[in-house]
Amino acid sequence: MSAPFSKGQSVSEYLERYESNDLLRFLTCGSVDDGKSTLIGRLLHDSGRIYEDHLRAIEAASRVHGTRGGEIDLALVVDGLKAEQEQGITIDVAWRYFATAKRSFIIADCPGHEQYTRNMATGASHCQLAITLIDARHGVSRQTRRHATIASLLGIRHVVAAVNKMDLVGWSQERFREIERDFLEVCRKIGVGDPAAIPVSALTGENVVTRGANTPWYSGSPLLELLESIPVEGQSAESPFRLPVQYVIRPTPDFRGFAGSIVSGSVKVGDRVRVLPRGVETRVRRLARSEEDGGDLVIAHAPSSVLVMLEDEVDCSRGDLIVGGGGGAKAAEAIVAHSFEADLVWMVEAPLMSGAEVLLRQGTRTTNARVVRVKHRVDVDTLESHVADTLALNDIGRVEIEAEVPLAFDPYASVQGTGAIIVIDRLTNATAGAGMIRTGDALDPHTKRAHWETMPVATLDAPHGRSLVSGKEREARWRQRPLSVLLFGKPGSGKTTAAFALERALWDLGHAAIVLDGQMLRAGLSRDLSFTDEDRSENLRRAAEIAKVLNEHGVVVIMSLVAPDPIARERTRQLVGEARYLEFDCGKVAAAAVVAAVMASLHG
């Protein structure tokens, strides 16, 4: 569909104007009964044109399936599949296109009946605005609340209530104001940024495309005018630069370009950038483009697809994220971590259980991941959280996810392009869930634990291999393999006693060993930490880092900490290295047994 054009108008002028149109993607939600299809049919019919052959097909279908007693049923303009026409329901998101002289539009038409959450989330993920249909006779319903909730979760700021069937309530201003008040109140509670309500009749066309005579008391814009004038959220100069690398283009040995779509912000030739998760910093050398296409770019903005060449020969491939460097708003830090919390929409019949092994897609990276736990489920009708450890089809809940490799991301509320995830079932390959990485307080307790995963900021290359003394020489000198021994258990389990007994025994046999005691650490290095789970985990991490350094120098380290969290202990094992790690639960193993086991390991 296209903007009205009349004979005699200049084509080149028309083209110029059409080419400068921007694009608004919006969704419509509501059930068939609310008159949603009729509203879309009306928008398409009254604003652009419905082709004559389509109209004839609709007229024919109206006689068979129509609900308008043989009259043309505009709802049939948009009811797609044959199966659906027969059942009188729409089962999937349908896409519609039209343009006016001011703007081009893509409509994601979301059915209101079954699978509403899944379908609406799908539609909303592509849109900047949502229209929710409200039947003027019934007012704001549970469904309206659901729509506003899902729109808000998916980051849509503009939610418009089309209060439909005003003809059936006698064009009552009083009725409209009542519904408007309820709707704005719902939006306020949910936190919708920019709500609006319009009294319409899709059937008669009142306030859809043009203002009608029946609502003189309504001073706002008709729906189409609102759609044409609402500001499309552009990229401000302040948006952080984010480019997930999609594909490396390397036609010759001396041309290496990184292809991808800018999901946020902008980039200029010469800008300092960093490649995450490793964090290597370099500069943009070229924004390459062919001569026929106008040659290289100087600057590029989201959502352009670009080809970036970097100054240095850095390690960079699909899945990596190029971000702004060198300070300023554009260089705002992305988070690099293995785990995060997200709001997840579950989309398949088989429920999600805590501990599920899944495939995770975030940015251009797909990796194995584990849903560590489901924390709670959100009731989309009341917005209350309920403790839950599973999510069923169409549920929305908060989950904690841990990926196999470090990911570079942002909270969804800051950058959608890096904060959105999908979860794929490893057996069926179905898209099982879609999620929004959380921001704010919810993430805070985890940022400390996330030190296990955060990458060092400035150290690009550790001075590996610079020491003039080799590991072999150290082993020969001390006549021992370096070990990290963790003695853990509740206070009073005897771990400290066992630790010092072990140290004495090793010393007596001529070995080099040292004790890192939890309480000792807390008196100094860890004096900023409390006794929460997260801080206990962080205390263990610090001990492990010291143990690792001492092991590098050939020394045996005996750690004595409470360390109740098996995940943190597993991370300790990974950090110091499988071959050098031993752990003993002092609640279960006697000190003598510990000494014997360590002695046996010392000589490998």
Q: Which parts of 168-227 interact with another protein (CB under 8 A)?
A: none
Which region among 159-167, 220-228, 241-249, 308-316 touches another protein (by CB under 8 A)?
241-249
Neighbours of 593 (CB within 10 A): 12
> What is the smallest separation between the CB atom of 9 and another protein, expressed in angstroms?
8
Residue 232 or 593 having the CB closest to another protein: 232
Which region among 122-130, 367-375, 397-405, 449-457 touches another protein (by CB under 8 A)?
122-130
Angle of helix 142-153 relative to helix 116-124, nearest 10 degrees?
Answer: 40
Which of 45, 118, 274, 438 forms a contact with another protein (CB under 8 A)? 118
Contact 502, 513 (CB under 8 A): yes
In sequence order, what are the residues at sequence separation of 6 or more whose Cβ sits closer than 8 angstroms to the Cβ of residue 582? 483, 484, 485, 486, 597, 598, 601
If one asks whether residue 421 binds another protein (CB under 8 A), the answer comes out as yes
CA distances 220 to 157, 199, 224, Å, are: 19, 9, 11
If one asks whether residue 430 binds another protein (CB under 8 A), the answer comes out as yes
Which of 128, 362, 484, 496 forms a contact with another protein (CB under 8 A)? 362
Residue 121 or 499 having the CB closest to another protein: 121
Which of 75, 151, 307, 521 forms a contact with another protein (CB under 8 A)? 307
If one asks whether residue 372 binds another protein (CB under 8 A), the answer comes out as no
> What is the smallest separation between the CB atom of 40 and another protein, expressed in angstroms?
11
Contact 167, 35 (CB under 8 A): no
> What is the smallest separation between the CB atom of 232 and another protein, expressed in angstroms?
6
Which of 31, 47, 100, 119 forms a contact with another protein (CB under 8 A)? 119
Q: How far apart are CA 199 and CA 23, in angstroms?
A: 25
Q: How far apart are CA 335 and CA 338, in angstroms?
A: 10
If one asks whether residue 246 binds another protein (CB under 8 A), the answer comes out as yes
If one asks whether residue 97 binds another protein (CB under 8 A), the answer comes out as yes
> What is the smallest separation between the CB atom of 407 and another protein, expressed in angstroms?
13
Residue 236 or 459 having the CB closest to another protein: 236
Which of 168, 249, 405, 549 forms a contact with another protein (CB under 8 A)? 249
> What is the smallest separation between the CB atom of 311 and another protein, expressed in angstroms?
19
If one asks whether residue 96 binds another protein (CB under 8 A), the answer comes out as yes
> What is the smallest separation between the CB atom of 48 and another protein, expressed in angstroms?
10
Q: How far apart are CA 400 and CA 435, in angstroms?
A: 11
Which of 88, 193, 295, 303 forms a contact with another protein (CB under 8 A)? 303
DSSP track, 422-491: EEE-TTT--EEEEEEE--GGGGHHHHHHGGGTPPPSS--S--TT--SS-HHHHHHHHTS---EEEEE-ST
Which region among 139-147, 189-197, 412-420, 498-506 touches another protein (by CB under 8 A)?
412-420
**Dihedral (CA of 151, 156, 158, 164) sign:** negative
Residue 176 or 346 having the CB closest to another protein: 346
Which region among 190-198, 285-293, 466-474, 478-486 touches another protein (by CB under 8 A)?
285-293
Which region among 113-121, 218-226, 397-405, 537-545 touches another protein (by CB under 8 A)?
113-121
Which of 172, 235, 367, 390 forms a contact with another protein (CB under 8 A)? 235
Encoding tokens for residue 493?
A: 């389990």
**Which contacts qualify for 48-52: CB closer than 8 Å, 24 or more apart?**
48/1, 48/2, 48/3, 48/4, 48/98, 48/99, 48/100, 49/1, 49/2, 49/4, 50/1, 50/77
Q: How far apart are CA 276 and CA 456, in angstroms?
A: 11
If one asks whether residue 359 binds another protein (CB under 8 A), the answer comes out as yes
Encoding tokens for residue 602?
A: 């010392």
If one asks whether residue 507 binds another protein (CB under 8 A), the answer comes out as no
If one asks whether residue 13 binds another protein (CB under 8 A), the answer comes out as no
Q: How far apart are CA 262 and CA 303, in angstroms?
A: 5
In sequence order, what are the residues at sequence separation of 6 or more whose Cβ sits closer than 8 angstroms to the Cβ of residue 589? none
Find tokens 């000198």 and name the residue: 477
> What is the smallest separation between the CB atom of 148 and another protein, expressed in angstroms?
19
Residue 246 or 601 having the CB closest to another protein: 246
Q: How far apart are CA 375 and CA 363, in angstroms?
A: 24
Sites for another protein among residues 126-165 (CB under 8 A): 126
Residue 6 or 219 having the CB closest to another protein: 6
> What is the smallest separation between the CB atom of 45 and another protein, expressed in angstroms?
13
Give the 3-state DSSP-derived string for 274-288, with helices as H, strands as E and coil as C.
EEECCCEEEEEEEEC
If one asks whether residue 413 binds another protein (CB under 8 A), the answer comes out as no
Neighbours of 324 (CB within 10 A): 25
Residue 372 or 424 having the CB closest to another protein: 424
If one asks whether residue 309 binds another protein (CB under 8 A), the answer comes out as no
Contact 440, 342 (CB under 8 A): no
> What is the smallest separation between the CB atom of 283 and another protein, expressed in angstroms?
21
> What is the smallest separation between the CB atom of 103 and another protein, expressed in angstroms?
8
> What is the smallest separation between the CB atom of 95 and another protein, expressed in angstroms?
5
If one asks whether residue 429 binds another protein (CB under 8 A), the answer comes out as yes
Residue 70 or 577 having the CB closest to another protein: 70
Kind of pairing, strands 129-135 and 22-29? parallel
If one asks whether residue 104 binds another protein (CB under 8 A), the answer comes out as yes
Q: How far apart are CA 282 and CA 310, in angstroms?
A: 7
> What is the smallest separation between the CB atom of 186 and another protein, expressed in angstroms?
25
419 by Cβ neighbours in 10 Å (0-12 / 13-18 / 19+) ranks as buried
If one asks whether residue 459 binds another protein (CB under 8 A), the answer comes out as no
If one asks whether residue 295 binds another protein (CB under 8 A), the answer comes out as no
Contact 103, 26 (CB under 8 A): no
- What single-letter amino acid sits at 515? V
Sites for another protein among residues 31-90 (CB under 8 A): 49, 51-54, 78, 80-83, 85
In sequence order, what are the residues at sequence separation of 6 or more whose Cβ sits closer than 8 angstroms to the Cβ of residue 204? 167, 212, 214
Kind of pairing, strands 365-378 and 385-387? antiparallel
Residue 198 or 262 having the CB closest to another protein: 262
Which region among 18-26, 190-198, 334-342, 560-568 touches another protein (by CB under 8 A)?
18-26
Q: Kindly give the residue spans of alpha helices, DSSP state H, lying in 128-273.
A: 142-153, 173-190, 223-229
